[in-house]
Structure 1
């Protein structure tokens, strides 16, 4: 058991894509399991109208399951001794062009904040949704850009492979959106968008030197999407109600196009475990 959790040469420190997949699957099981449990025990408190019909709806349908997932991944990283390495400065630096990832993700957030019709939401919904976004950023970034990237680097993969596999895992996480509605073109577009959004978050983490900024930007992207469009499924279809949201909607295409170009530019490889921090130049 000690080898499984803490031994420097043990199970997790050997890294590998399938271990990253295992962490992702475990997180999803927690998220879905807690969601089912909360639905059974607190479902009677949910009112009609969707997750944003009341602050209580947001808490029950989104905040509690996501919060549980965030707690579990934090406990996991602490148990294997990876909190400090994951939150430490990135062991491989960024290039100036990677700052474009920050801009591509940031400008839709800014325009959504301007364009959101805050008065259309019941009391408390906006605040609780923003708090939920923070937990989404913590949970999903620590699973994919935290544990996932660390495990891939420990296996010795080049940074392009690290970026692609961690982003693929991030995209696959969003297959849960198909539960109950089935696979569709909308879900396919969602998977494409989330893959390239994952590439952008990887670049944000590298160029800023910290996963914290990926958490912050991710944590602002999701709630502003929810509040401006009702969810990412609507956003990727291009729906927008005013000029600010119309400008913000272009961010989805911008993320995909920039992500495609970035795949041809990502270089480098971390030579030693994340905690030691040696790397080849980017």
Structure 2
């Protein structure tokens, strides 16, 4: 059987990585996610609370989680069409450095603080489970896109790891800039963009040092729901359900730590260019 890398134009296009192809994929994902969100909102409008999406488990799932889940599943279909479905989840060919474990630790500390500080009595068990499921959907889709596809596309184009770190974190941040189109205040959007750049850089370092994409997915999947449960909202603070202010405040400081650590990491990452990207499979 002939090698699909040389016989399939679709695969050849994505295997020859450039920065703009990675950005094109991120923008395309965001647009598809928005379209899916419009569709699910129309289909399940009876159970979705637009004013307070976290008001019920059904509203959480159909209003927030389902569009992300479907977008993530489309990424799996895309990966299969490129012959990358298994390769994206394989062990990293480039080993991490010991200092990169600090990234994992910095992500875990606020997760633990939020777990302790959350006012669990404010939530029904079903609501907690729905928010945890939402976190898993977000972690899966966003990490598969940015630390899976984007990292692989950039590496296949011969970009050094320093550029891979910066670009993958930047595209992750740009994706969240779209919140401005949903009516969020500009100050909130700018804060989110800066935070997501730092967090994205830590996820890249977590991918490197753990060796597998699944660990970045799980770390991301634990971050978002614990933040929502602790603060009582999505990118917002709800005094009615927010947890212990002291612990939540300390956890919030790590947002600034992420950005500072990310800036330092840019100079610490060895700028290697000879990293084996995920290659198209030779058969389906």
Query: 1:156 touches 1:269 (CA, 8 Å); kept in 2?
Result: no
Distance 1:67-1:48 versus aligned 2 partners, 3 A rule: closer
Q: Of the candidates 144, 156, 159, which is equivalent to residue 157 of structure 1?
A: 159
Specify the alignment match of 2:282 in structure 1: none
Distance 2:16 2:148 in 1: 16
Q: TM-score, structure 1 length as denominator?
A: 0.90
Query: 2:118 touches 2:243 (CA, 8 Å); kept in 1?
Result: no
Specify the alignment match of 2:120 in structure 1: 118
Q: Of the candidates 237, 243, 254, which is equivalent to residue 251 of structure 1?
A: 254
Q: Of the candidates 58, 62, 70, which is equivalent to residue 60 of structure 1?
A: 62
Gaps of 5+ in 1: 277-282
Q: Render the CA deviation track for 1:85-120: whole Å, top value 9, x for unaligned.
A: 211111211111111000111100111111111221
Query: 2:94 touches 2:275 (CA, 8 Å); kept in 1?
Result: no
Q: TM-score, structure 2 length as denominator?
A: 0.89
Matched, 1:45 2:47: yes
Tell me by how many angstroms 1:44 deviates: 2.2
Tell me by how many angstroms 1:268 deviates: 3.2
Matched ranges for 1:266-277 at <5 A: 266-271=269-274, 273-275=276-278
Query: 1:226 touches 1:232 (CA, 8 Å); kept in 2?
Result: yes
Distance 1:107-1:120 versus aligned 2 partners, 3 A rule: same
Gaps of 5+ in 2: 280-284
Task: Kindly report the root-mean-square deviation, in angstroms, between the aligned alpha carbons of the 2 structures.
Answer: 2.0
Distance 1:261 1:231 in 2: 31
Q: Render the CA deviation track for 1:139-191: whole Å, top value 9, x for unaligned.
A: 00111110000000011011010111111110011022212315512211110
Query: 1:53 touches 1:122 (CA, 8 Å); kept in 2?
Result: no
Query: 1:15 touches 1:153 (CA, 8 Å); kept in 2?
Result: yes
Distance 1:123 1:210 in 2: 31
Query: 2:119 touches 2:243 (CA, 8 Å); kept in 1?
Result: no
Query: 2:54 touches 2:233 (CA, 8 Å); kept in 1?
Result: no
SS at match of 2:162: helix
How many pairs align? 270
- Structure scoring higher RCO (CA < 8 A, sep ≥ 6) equals 2
Specify the alignment match of 1:3 in structure 2: 8
Distance 1:226-1:184 versus aligned 2 partners, 3 A rule: same
